[in-house]
Structure 1
């Protein structure tokens, strides 16, 4: 899911994988692997990509994952 969302956001910003990689400071191959769902990004990489795309890290998460995180944090409060 992260890969699909990353690709959508990158295309929305009209960036190539190479351009996004340069802005985010990650190898272009990392973006390719994430977008093709061959690799899950680390939190550090997700933060870099989110910053480069001008979005919050939550943008990469699907609604189910966001709900799980929200519900989990409410239980701990």
Structure 2
């Protein structure tokens, strides 16, 4: 299992690009990556879809 940041960097996309793909704010992506915000189930699904991975494959 990889962190959100590891998945994002593996796909070579920025926080801003991920935020646009997942339809959430860049600040939220940053806070989730830093552990400052716990994502909702909906947000987890959006991020997983944007990264083309299963929600269970992302470690938060």
Task: Write out the 4+ residue segments of structure 1 that deviate beyond 2 Å after TM superposition.
Answer: none
CA drift of 1:41 comes to 0.4
Is the contact between residue 19 and residue 26 of structure 2 (CA under 8 Å) also seen in structure 1?
yes
Q: By percentage of residues, which structure has more helix? A: 1
TM-score by length of 2: 0.92
TM-score by length of 1: 0.72
Identify unmatched segments of 5+ residues in structure 2.
none
Q: By percentage of residues, which structure has more strand? A: 2
Match of 2:36 among 22, 35, 38: 38
The structure with the larger Rg is 1
In structure 1, what is the equivalent of residue 3 of structure 2? 5
Cα RMSD after superposing both structures: 1.5
Identify unmatched segments of 5+ residues in structure 1.
63-77
Is the contact between residue 32 and residue 38 of structure 2 (CA under 8 Å) also seen in structure 1?
yes
Total equivalences in the alignment: 59
